[in-house]
Copies of this chain bind each other. A is one copy, B any other.
Amino acid sequence: MTRLDQIADAIQQQTGIYTNARSIERIARALLTETDFWHIIDQSDEVVPIVAATLEYFKEQGWIHQENDRLTLTPEGKKQILDHWKIVRLPDYACRTCDGRGIDIRRLPESAVQTFMQIHRERPAAIIDYDQGYITPECTLARVGFAHWKGDVDHREILVLGDDDLVSLALCLIGKPRRITVVEIDERLVQFIQKWAAAFDFPIEIRHFDLSRPLPDDYLHRFDTFLTDPPESIVAFRAFVGRGIAALKGPGCVGYFGFTRREATLKKWHHIQSYLVQQNVAITDVLHNYHAYVNWDYAPNTRAWQLAPVKKAPDIHWYRSSLYRIETLHGHLGEVDTEFDIRAFNDKEASTT
């Protein structure tokens, strides 16, 4: 009988990515209910290369077999999972009203929601050049609603670092920010947001900017709140979240960011938490799988696609990320003048680029 930690060691050796028994368990459990690759990733909540390598391992052992895009447990596989490892199916207690987010977006002002949905329909598509990929409009509304509810929007000076999710427009539709500054690398988005901000006379200032470079000096210690969605490498995290922290005024200021498990192991989570502690910020909220991403057009060119044992487009939102809220204490730091190499914005755990 093979132990879960032995498989984890083998997978870690093969992929070079941190793996422990719990990861293998989560993947095995997903196989009890799912047969589609993207569903298995979503259920297991693990990074794509580990899921792919584990499924390959299971196939070699004769525990799963593949037919017509489906990965099905064999009788030996079932025996292994249910009898040997004692892994069971889990109930689903997620609240259906709020999709487990704790806030009900039907309580947001209705006309603001409708306007945002309308704007969203016209938005530019995600492109691979900037590692884009945007969350559903419902998730943007939920995130912005959460920030509004926590007192981080009205009368605040807000910085948005990368605005693929149109957070700036949603913030102005839902709340009353004093001013929003957006830094964005994609000219298409700069123009799109500028157009709508002008149409509604929103206090949004948008600037074409590459976050591998330090923020302009006059952005430092100026904002009450920042929102961002970094690529999942440590370097990118420092470039996005670290610069966000440096842009906050003083104690009691707030940052929001999304961070996924699909491209980041818990070891990387631990690493960013250690980083946050060192910057003198406190984590106030971590809401699991708060955001679902719209499946992007460039999927077949990504590493996730190459790793997929089955070349079939996802039929669900398989890519999710958690919502973090942080609050500064006295002496908060952040990245003031660090330069980063944009090529390091990806690492081994990444798979959607």
Q: Which residue numbers of A lie inside 8 Å of B, CB to CB?
A: 5, 18, 20-23, 25-26, 29, 86-88, 90-98, 100-105, 107-108, 145-146, 148-151, 154-155, 176, 250-253, 266-267, 269-270, 273-274, 276-277, 280-288, 327, 329-330
Extra contacts besides A274-B277, A284-B286, A285-B288 (7): CB < 8 Å: A5-B251, A21-B252, A25-B151, A90-B148, A95-B97, A266-B327, A273-B273
Q: In the complex, are the beta carbons of B330 and A151 less than 8 A apart? A: no
**Could you say which residues of chain B place their CB within 8 Å of the CB of A104?**
93-97
Distance from A259 Cβ to chain B, minimum over Cβ atoms (Å): 11
Q: What is the distance, in angstroms, from A40's C-beta to the closest C-beta of chain B?
A: 15
Contact pick for A22, options B87, B88, B251, B286, CB 8 Å: B251
Looking at the complex, which one of B5, B25, B150, B288 makes contact with A250 (CB distance below 8 Å)? Answer: B5
CA distance A284 to B330 in the complex (A): 25
CA distance A329 to B96 in the complex (A): 32
In the complex the two chains form, is B288's CB within 8 Å of A21's CB? no
Q: A252 — nearest CB in chain B belongs to which residue?
A: B22
Query: Which chain B residue shows the least CB distance to A151?
Result: B90
- Pick from B93, B145, B274, B329: contact of A267, CB under 8 Å: B329
Contact A252 B93 (CB under 8 A): no
Q: Collect the chain B residues with CB atoms within 8 Å of residue A90's CB.
A: 148-151, 154
- Please state if A151 and B97 are interface contacts (CB–CB under 8 Å): no
**Among B22, B101, B283, contact of A273 (Cβ-Cβ < 8 Å):** B283
How many Å lie between the Cα of A5 and that of B23 in the bound state? 46
Which residues of chain B come closer than 8 Å to A281, judged between CB atoms?
Answer: 270
> Which residues of chain B come closer than 8 Å to A267, judged between CB atoms?
282, 329
Contacts of A98 in B (CB 8 A): 95, 97-98, 102
- Chain B CB count within 10 A is highest, among A105, A251, A274, for A251
The contact of A285 among B97, B252, B282, B286, by CB within 8 Å, is B286
A93-B104, A103-B94, A104-B94 are contacts. A266–B329 as well, Cβ < 8 Å? yes
Taking CB atoms, residues of chain B closer than 8 Å to A86 are 155
Interface centre among A5, A145, A286 (most CB of B within 10 A): A286
Shortest distance in angstroms between A8's beta carbon and chain B's nearest beta carbon?
8
Write out the residue numbers on chain B whose beta carbons fall within 8 Å of the beta carbon of A250: 5, 20-21
Closest to A272 in B: B282
With A102-B101, A284-B286, A285-B286 given, is the CB distance from A329 to B91 under 8 Å? no
Would you list 28 pairs from A and B whose C-beta atoms are within 8 A, ordered by A residue?
A5-B251, A18-B329, A20-B250, A21-B251, A22-B251, A88-B155, A88-B176, A90-B149, A91-B107, A93-B108, A93-B146, A95-B101, A96-B104, A97-B104, A98-B98, A100-B103, A266-B284, A266-B327, A267-B282, A267-B329, A273-B273, A273-B277, A273-B282, A273-B283, A284-B288, A285-B287, A285-B288, A287-B287
